[in-house]
């Protein structure tokens, strides 16, 4: 029962940091709602999207994590004072009810000598899922922070050292820390699940492990969310670099729209694909950009007009439904 009370109080502290992080992410999403950035699949440039949509994905995922943890914390907030094997042989159930009410806990409907450990496992596992999401956000920042991308970066304070050996370095060390924290809590979640199968009405196989994993999981999650809030408050956004990366190789990321236009015109997708792909592969080699190559390809220009080709490279086409998505997520 005392442990349940501690877990409940820890959940309140964690929830406050989640509320703060959600607020920061929402502001970023709205601010960069229509800011173009390249979408990447398999780590490779795919098609234009918006930075705001990236943040909207974070927002909904963290919101789910918050609700999941809230549910788990509520389920763990129960007390039991039911005797050696849970049958109230030497105590009146009304005492249990009175004590739990005073502590702000619900009564466990039926217990043994202990509250069943599926509740604790759900608590730790929900924290593991939550912090895995936070790690994912941190990894996204780390990737976008890379020198050759440089689109979204951790803030770097005046006088801060990125590397003791290389003065030019600005390493995303706080985001890296989030990965280490998430890995620890995921490990603890395995131990929490192994604590569920106790013998009969109780053994203490779970006890020594719980003394480590429960406080550590809560402390680590709280600290990780503090770091994440700090990162969100100091992000450096580089919209110019985002546009430069979209237009790299002369706009190869617009290939699908060109493919669709050609397919509709000739009715043969495989043939259209080959025409587009050969120009994209040439663009990768450098020198002449993709759009310029397309306009020099007589097979394509014999099918599409110059205006139709230009239309294939218009950015706004990719953002026409962003407002609808934001309305789903934020109601505006």
pLDDT of residue 165: 87
pLDDT of residue 125: 98
Return the exposure string of 174-210: e unless at least 16 CB atoms fall within 10 Å of the residue's CB, then b: bbebbbebbebbbebbebbbebeebeeebeeebeeeb
Q: Whole-angstrom Cα distance, residue 54 to residue 153?
A: 14
- pTM confidence score: 0.94
Instruction: Give kind and range of the element (H or E) at residue 44.
Output: strand 44-50
The catalytic position among 4, 20, 23, 42 is: 42
Q: Where are the domains of the chain?
A: 2-245, 252-312
- DSSP structural state of residue 235: -
Q: How many CA atoms lie within 13 A of 16 on its CB side?
A: 8
Q: Which CATH architecture has domain 2-245?
A: Up-down Bundle (1.20)
| Residue 78: closest CA among 36, 29, 120 | 120
Model pLDDT for residues 70-116, shown as the tens digit of each residue: 999 999 999 999 999 999 999 999 999 999 999 999 999 999 999 99
> Where do we find the tokens 């490279």?
313
Give φ, ψ of 153 to 5 degrees: -135, 150
Quick check: is 42 catalytic? Answer: yes
- DSSP structural state of residue 271: H
Question: What average pLDDT does the segment 23-43 reach?
Answer: 97
Cβ-contact 276, 265 below 8 angstroms: no
Confidence of residue 198 (pLDDT cuts 50, 70, 90): very high
- Separation in Å, CA 181 to CA 136, 154, 226: 12, 18, 12
Is 252-312 a domain of CATH 1.10.40.30?
Answer: yes
Question: What average pLDDT does the segment 113-126 reach?
Answer: 95
Q: Whole-angstrom Cα distance, residue 86 to residue 7?
A: 22
Q: Is the pLDDT of residue 250 over 90?
A: yes
Structure tokens, 218? 């809560």
Confidence of residue 287 (pLDDT cuts 50, 70, 90): confident
Quick check: is 200 catalytic? Answer: no
Question: E strands along the chain, which residues?
Answer: 36-41, 44-50, 78-79, 106-107, 152-153, 236-237
The catalytic position among 111, 145, 163, 255 is: 163
């Amino acid at each position: 029962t005392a442990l349940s009370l501690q877990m409940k109080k820890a959940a309140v502290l964690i929830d406050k940091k989640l509320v703060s992080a959600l607020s920061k992410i929402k502001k970023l999403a709205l601010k960069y709602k229509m800011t173009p950035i390249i979408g990447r699949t398999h780590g490779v440039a795919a098609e234009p999207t918006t930075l705001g949509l990236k943040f909207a994905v974070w927002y909904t995922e963290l919101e789910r994590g918050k609700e999941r943890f809230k549910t788990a914390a509520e389920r763990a907030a129960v007390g039991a004072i039911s005797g050696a094997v849970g049958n109230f042989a030497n105590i009146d159930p009304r005492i249990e009810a009175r004590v739990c009410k005073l502590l702000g806990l619900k009564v466990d409907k039926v217990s043994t000598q202990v509250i069943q450990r599926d509740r604790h496992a759900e608590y730790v596992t929900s924290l593991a899922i939550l912090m895995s999401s936070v790690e994912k956000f941190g990894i996204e920042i780390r990737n976008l922070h890379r020198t050759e991308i440089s689109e979204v970066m951790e803030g770097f304070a005046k006088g801060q050292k990125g590397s003791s050996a290389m003065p030019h370095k600005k390493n995303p060390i706080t985001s890296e820390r989030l990965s280490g924290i998430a890995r620890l809590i995921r490990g603890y979640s395995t131990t929490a699940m192994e604590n569920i199968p106790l013998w009969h009405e109780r053994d203490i196989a779970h006890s020594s492990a719980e003394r480590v994993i429960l406080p550590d999981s809560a402390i680590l999650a709280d600290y990780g969310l503090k770091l994440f809030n700090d990162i969100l408050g100091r992000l450096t956004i580089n919209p110019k670099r985002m546009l430069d990366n979209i237009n790299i190789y002369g706009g190869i990321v617009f290939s699908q729209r060109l493919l669709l236009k050609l397919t509709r015109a000739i009715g043969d997708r495989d043939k259209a694909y080959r025409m587009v792909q050969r120009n994209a592969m040439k663009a990768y080699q450098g020198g002449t950009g993709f759009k310029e190559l397309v306009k020099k390809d007589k097979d394509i220009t014999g099918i599409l007009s110059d205006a139709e080709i230009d239309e294939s490279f218009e950015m706004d086409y990719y953002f026409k439904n962003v407002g609808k998505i934001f309305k789903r997520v934020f109601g505006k």
